[in-house]
Amino acid sequence: MLKISSSGEYALLLIKHLSDNPGTHTISAVSEKLGMKEPFLRKTANKLEKAGIIFSHKGRYGGVELVKKDISVYDILSAVWEDLSIAICSNGKCASSENCGITPTIVNIQRGFDTILKITRL
């Protein structure tokens, strides 16, 4: 069953912090303020930067800042490679999909879940 991983949780918390506190923040300051493990937060921030959600300033006065202001929970979780499938057959294909009879129902639930994540903002 779907469960948001630590990486997904860290990503959501980091984006929420950056959206509530505009400007540039060091990863060490954010990790201390939010009680997160700094090395893991850095890895999560790197994924968010690759997705174009945050920008990382290098150097002595460096840090991260939010680039995308209007971002969905779906975009954040997808950026950190979170598996958002509610079931094995969420994409409509599995070994038993022809025989089980619930694949269309699961696909509809997945579509609704994805829509909720796409319209939900932090």
Handedness of CA 16, 22, 27, 29 (dihedral sign): negative
Taking the chain, what is the end-to-end CA distance rounded to the nearest angstrom? 23
Residues 68-80: tens digit of each pLDDT:
889 999 999 999 9
Residues 13-60: tens digit of each pLDDT:
999 999 999 999 999 999 999 999 999 999 999 999 999 999 999 888
- Identify the residue with better confidence: 1 or 46: 46
Backbone angles phi, psi at 14, to 5 degrees: -65, -45
Alpha helix segments (H runs only) across the chain = 6-20, 27-34, 38-50, 73-79, 97-100, 103-119
* CATH, domain range 1-84: 1.10.10.10
CATH 1.10.10.10 location in the chain: 1-84
